[in-house]
């Protein structure tokens, strides 16, 4: 089955700096790669996603890149703000509507 | 609130008791998923439904776990003879189930289970 590895497990950055979180996956049949943000005590919320027919996607300060050959994808957050502090999870699945396999999460702390 | 809802939000039970959780998906969402999340980990898939049909069960789902979605709307997850290892956050998610490019899985707030 699919296995998703996520690094780093914790990340601290100064406000205004960029943050990068990386994930690798094992199943070449995976075609959908979402990123979720989870604040303490709250539900995971989708922040951006990418499908395998696209190499990069951007939404304001957030971007995701995908290298399907190497089976890895990354989340980039620019101009970080304190409210970006949360746990971020990458995930992989075959389609948008099939079960997600999540990484273990990255705890991002943005220091003001 | 028109999002995914779950009830109860918290449940404390004694080992050996049975518990049941309920999930109400977003209206008109055909697919409903159950995940389990333990402290410091990402959500782990348990099972999912297309309308009332259960499509897949994870190997994580022991015989003590059963899930239903009898009318294709809300779903219940029952755990029989609870064990301390069942303590976790149980998350429900739903999606339209359409093949369109904008569909996604929306999560509920979760039910936190503590088994004493």
pLDDT under 70 in chain A at which residues?
A: none
At residue B1, does pLDDT exceed 60? Answer: no
Tens of pLDDT along B28-84? 899 999 999 999 899 999 999 999 999 999 988 899 999 999 988 999 999 999 999
Residue B99 predicted with pLDDT over 80: no
Size of interface A-B (CB pairs under 8 A): 59
The span from the CA of B31 to the CA of B116, in Å, is 33
Q: Are A104 and B40 a contacting pair at CB < 8 A?
A: yes
A104, exposed or middle or buried, with CB in 10 Å at 0-12, 13-18, 19+? middle
pLDDT at position B2: 72
Q: Do residues B54 and B67 make contact, with C-beta atoms less than 8 angstroms apart?
A: yes
3-state SS, one letter per residue, for B92-113:
EEEECCCCCCCCCCEECCCEEE
Collect all residues of chain A within an 8 Å Cβ-Cβ radius of residue B35.
100
Q: For residue A42, which residues of chain B lie inside 8 Å, CB to CB?
A: 109
C-alpha B33/C-alpha B50 separation (Å) is 9
Distance, in Å, from the CA atom of B64 to the CA atom of B115, rounded to the nearest integer, reads: 14
- In 3-state terms, what secondary structure has residue B84? helix
Per-residue model confidence (pLDDT) at position B100: 63
DSSP labels, A38-79: E-TTS--EEEEEEETT-SEEEETTEEEEEETTTTEEEEEE-S
- Looking at the partner chain, which of A43, A51, A103 has a beta carbon nearest the beta carbon of B109? A43
Residue A98 CB neighbours (<10 A): 19
Tell me, yes or no, if B44 comes closer than 8 A to chain A by beta carbon.
yes
Inspect the interface and report whether the beta carbons of B105 and A43 lie closer than 8 Å: no
Pair type for strands A10-14 and A106-111? parallel
Q: Report the residue of A7, A34, A43 to disrupt the B interface, i.e. the one with the largest count of B CBs within 10 Å.
A: A43
- How confident is the model at residue B60, as a pLDDT? 81
SS3 content of chain B, % helix, strand, coil (to 5): 5, 50, 50
């Amino acid at each position: 089955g699919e296995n998703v590895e996520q690094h780093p497990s914790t990340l601290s950055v100064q406000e205004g700096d960029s943050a990068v979180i990386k994930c690798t996956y094992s199943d070449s049949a995976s075609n959908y790669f979402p990123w979720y943000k989870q604040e303490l005590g709250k539900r995971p919320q989708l922040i951006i996603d990418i499908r395998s027919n696209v190499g990069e996607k951007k939404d304001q300060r957030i971007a995701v890149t995908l290298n399907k050959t190497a089976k890895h994808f990354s989340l980039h957050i620019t101009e970080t703000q304190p409210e970006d502090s949360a746990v971020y999870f990458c995930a992989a699945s075959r389609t948008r509507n099939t079960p997600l396999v999540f990484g273990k999460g990255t705890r991002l702390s943005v220091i003001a | 609130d028109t999002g995914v809802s779950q009830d109860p939000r918290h449940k404390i039970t004694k080992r050996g008791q049975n518990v049941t959780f309920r999930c109400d998906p977003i209206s008109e969402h055909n697919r409903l998923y159950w995940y389990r999340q333990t402290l410091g980990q990402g959500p782990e898939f348990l099972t999912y439904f297309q309308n009332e049909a259960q499509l897949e069960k994870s190997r994580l789902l022991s015989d003590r776990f059963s899930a239903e979605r009898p009318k294709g709307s809300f779903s219940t997850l029952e755990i029989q003879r609870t064990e301390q290892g069942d303590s976790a956050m149980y998350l429900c998610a739903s999606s339209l189930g359409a093949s369109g490019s904008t569909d996604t899985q929306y999560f509920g707030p979760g039910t936190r289970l503590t088994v004493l």
